[in-house]
Amino acid sequence: MKTTDLDTSPAAGNGLLDRRFFLKAGAAGGASLLSAAAHGMQREPWMQVPGAGMSELGAPAAAETDLVRTDVSSRPGTTGSGVSRTPLQHLDGIVTPSRLHFERHHSGIPDIDPGRHRLVLHGLVERPLSFSLDALARYPVVSRIQFLECSGNSGALIAPQPVPGTASSLHGLVAASEWGGVPLGALLDEAGLKPGARWLIADGADAAVMSRSVPLDKILDDAIVALYQNGEPLRPSNGYPMRLFLPGWEGNMSVKWLRGLKVTAEPAMTKDETSKYSDLRDDGVAELFSFPMGVKSVITNPSPGLKLNARGIYQVSGIAWSGNGRIRRVEVSADGGRSWADALLDEHVLPKCLTRFRSAWKWDGGPAVLLSRATDEAGNQQPTRAQVLEGRAVNSFYHYNGMQAWQVDGNGELSNVYA
Ligand SMILES: Nc1nc2c(c(=O)[nH]1)N[C@H]1C(S)=C(S)[C@@H](COP(=O)(O)O)O[C@H]1N2
Ligand SMILES: [Mo]
């Protein structure tokens, strides 16, 4: 089927096509027509010798040099106090390979002896308990595919002028994994809550002793002590041998290398929930405990660094997520937000998970501004940048979930702009 045979009726301005386009358009992609020379049918060198053997550990194809975490950086004078970012623009689907899951450490990755590590549950409980890794692994495990996002993600978008960046450098502190672990409610049941128990203070076995207060109703709702990530035991950078995982809530609260769980009546007001991870308003009030991550989306392809080489039909694809539940709808604009068309959502639309969306777009070779906006099942619509910044103090950067605009210039290069 030639592209010209396809229904390219517009769904919104500047070339956005109906989202069902790709369902019927098998041949809209970049395959070249088979010539008489039948290029690609000769016996290539790699067909003339037996291939390589098996190996104990898999690795990506050597040619895929972009499949690395980006912007790996640590604060001056430290080795492990910083971040690395998920290369969002080089991934598709919804699951992030563990080796590309972003990292955020406040004092590096501790070298934990799993045999000696203990999780201690104490405070307002009838029976304080201590769990070894073996003991914990004997409890029933549940698993779910869910996102983890640092609340500092996308904070660069508060800059008064748009900073140059890629989907990864601007938004790469988000990832989704299949997290497996023991529901924390089961451990609390065993310990027995005392009257007045309302909060749980979780702390980690790293030198930063990251500690956060979590309301007990969240714990009883869907918190787990995660032991597995994408089917294998957690990786050291993501909390081995165990971490707290709080679906949909700001990443900071999912305490890695989980060591202490203290049941209390009041929050502990730790440094990590007062001076940090709080939202300063322009009236001087700091809002504490902004737990669920707001509804958000970003177009990952095309995006800066991925050039459009020729005019024609493209698949515009990206990820959307919400800490409030499922994504209900994603819309895409190619004219800077003047008109919108519904994107197609991939089959897996899971609660508190990345959802992959796709739109068909016919680039006419001229300038365009691509945007996406997501709506979650609770009815929250992703705000504009101006809406997010309203009422915020200057430099208040946590929990930024505004729409991302990518400008396409006449050469097919993309850049971060404010629409
Ligand atoms: N013990 C401990 N837990 C921690 C941190 C930390 O530095 N120490 N960083 C937090 C932050 S700010 C985030 S965003 C997530 C990042 O998890 P990841 O490194 O698995 O992506 O872990 C959280 N849990
Ligand atoms: Mo974070």
Per residue in 288-337, pLDDT (tens digit) is 999 999 999 999 999 999 999 999 999 999 999 999 999 999 999 999 99
Element (H, E) at 218: helix 216-222
Q: DSSP of 38-66, one letter per residue?
A: -TT-S--GGGSS------SS----TT-TT
Domain of 127, in residue numbers: 103-282
Probe ligand 1: pick from 83, 98, 105, 213, max atoms within 8 Å of CB? 105
Tokens of 147: 């996102």
Looking at all shown ligands, the one closest to residue 149's CA atom is 1
Alpha-helix runs per DSSP H in 282-406? 385-389
Is 96 inside any structural domain? no
Token pair belonging to 186: 């089961």
Q: Across all residues in the chain, what is the average pLDDT?
A: 94
Q: For the domain that residue 275 is a member of, what is the CATH number?
A: 3.90.420.10
Q: Tell how far the Cα of 211 is from the centroid of ligand 1, in angstroms.
A: 10
Residue 155's CB is within 10 A of a number of other CB atoms, namely 17
Same-domain pairing of 254 and 306: no
Q: Pick the residue whose CA is nearest to atom 12 on ligand 1.
A: 252
Average pLDDT over residues 361-375: 97
Domain-embedded: residue 402? yes
Beta strand 224-229 with 70-74: parallel, antiparallel or unpaired? unpaired
Q: Report whether residue 212 contacts ligand 1, using a CB cutoff of 6 Å.
A: no
- What's the token pair of residue 58? 């898999």
133 φ/ψ angles, rounded to the nearest 5 degrees: -60, -40
Do 213 and 191 lie in a common domain? yes
C-alpha–C-alpha distance, residues 257 and 204, integer Å: 5
Q: Is 253 left (phi over 0), alpha (psi -120 to 50) or beta?
A: alpha
Same domain as 315, residue 218: no
pTM of the predicted protein model: 0.95
Residue 19 covered by a domain: no
The string of pLDDT tens digits covering residues 116-147 is: 999 999 999 999 999 999 999 999 999 999 99
User: Is residue 402 a contact partner of residue 385, using CB atoms and an 8 Å limit?
Assistant: yes
Please give the tally of structural domains in the chain.
2
Residue-level length of the chain: 419
Is the CB–ligand 1 distance for residue 102 below 6 Å?
yes
Do 254 and 153 belong together in one domain? yes
Please work out whether the CB of residue 101 comes within 6 Å of at least one atom of ligand 1: yes
Are 267 and 124 members of one domain?
A: yes
Instruction: Give the pLDDT confidence score for residue 39 in this predicted structure.
Output: 60
Q: What is the number of the ligand closest to the CA of 69?
A: 1
CA 418, CA 154: separation in Å to the nearest integer? 13
Same domain, 147 and 191: yes
pLDDT band at 59 (very low <50, low <70, confident <90, very high): very high
The pLDDT value given to residue 5: 47
Which band of pLDDT confidence, cut at 50, 70 and 90, is reported for residue 2? very low
DSSP letter (8 states) at residue 27: T
What confidence tens digit (pLDDT) does each residue in 204-240 have? 999 999 999 999 999 999 999 999 999 999 999 999 9
Q: Which atom of ligand 1 is nearest to the CA of 152?
A: 14
Task: Find out whether the beta carbon of 18 lies less than 6 Å from any atom of ligand 1.
Answer: no
Ligand 1 in reach of 206 Cβ (< 6 A):
yes
Domain membership flag for residue 248: yes
117 lines ligand 1 (CB under 6 A): no
Q: What pLDDT digit, counting tens, does each position of 61-116 carry?
A: 999 999 999 999 999 999 899 999 999 999 999 999 999 999 999 999 999 999 99
Amino acid identity of 138? R
What is the Cα–Cα distance from 214 to 224, expressed in whole angstroms?
A: 12
Evaluate: CB of 399 within 6 angstroms of ligand 1.
no
Contacts of 56 (CB under 8 A, 6+ apart): none
**Contact present, 338 and 412 (Cβ < 8 Å):** no
208 lines ligand 1 (CB under 6 A): yes
Query: Closest Cα to residue 86, out of 2, 6, 147?
Result: 147
At residue 1, the pLDDT reads 31
- Domain annotation covers residue 52: no
State whether 132 and 165 are in the same domain.
yes
**Nearest atom in ligand 1 to 250's CA:** 14
Mean pLDDT (whole number) for 274-297: 93
CATH label of the domain that carries residue 372: 2.60.40.650
**If you take atom 18 of ligand 1, which residue's CA is the nearest one?**
103
Inter-residue contact 373 to 403 (CB < 8 Å): yes
Domain-embedded: residue 107 = yes
Which of 282, 309, 338 corresponds to the end of one domain? 282
In the three-class reduction of DSSP (H, G, I as helix; E, B as strand; rest coil), residue 212 is classed as strand
| Assigned domain for 81 exists | no
Q: From ligand 2's centre to the CA of 152, what distance in Å?
A: 6
The model's pLDDT over 145-174, given as tens digits with 9 standing for 90+, comes to 999 999 999 999 999 999 999 999 999 999
- Closest ligand 1 atom to residue 277 Cα is 12
Residue 98 to residues 121, 183, 247: CA-CA distances in angstroms?
A: 28, 22, 17
Residues 178 and 203 in one domain: yes
Same domain assignment for residues 338 and 278: no
pLDDT band at 22 (very low <50, low <70, confident <90, very high): confident
> Is residue 4 over pLDDT 80?
no
In the chain, the amino acid numbered 2 is: K
Q: Is the peptide bond before 241 cis (omega within 30 degrees of 0)?
A: yes
The residue that leads in pLDDT, 4 or 216, is 216
At 190, list the tokens. 């065993």
C-beta separation of 377 from 123 below 8 A: no
Kindly state the tokens that stand for 325: 């539940």
Pairing of strands 119-123, 258-264: parallel
Question: DSSP character for 252?
Answer: G
One domain, residues 278 and 300? no
| Residue 295 near residue 401 (C-beta atoms within 8 A) | yes
Q: Tell me which residue has its CA closest to atom 16 in ligand 1.
A: 104
Q: Is there a single domain that holds both residue 224 and residue 316?
A: no
- Is residue 315 a part of any domain in this protein? yes
Residue 159 and residue 221 in one domain: yes
Protein residue with its CA nearest to atom 21 in ligand 1: 103
Category of 289 on φ-ψ map: left (φ > 0), alpha (ψ -120 to 50) or beta:
left
Any residues with CB less than 8 A from the CB of 385 and at least 6 apart, and which?
Answer: 157, 402, 403, 418, 419
Which atom of ligand 1 is least distant from the CA of 239? 20
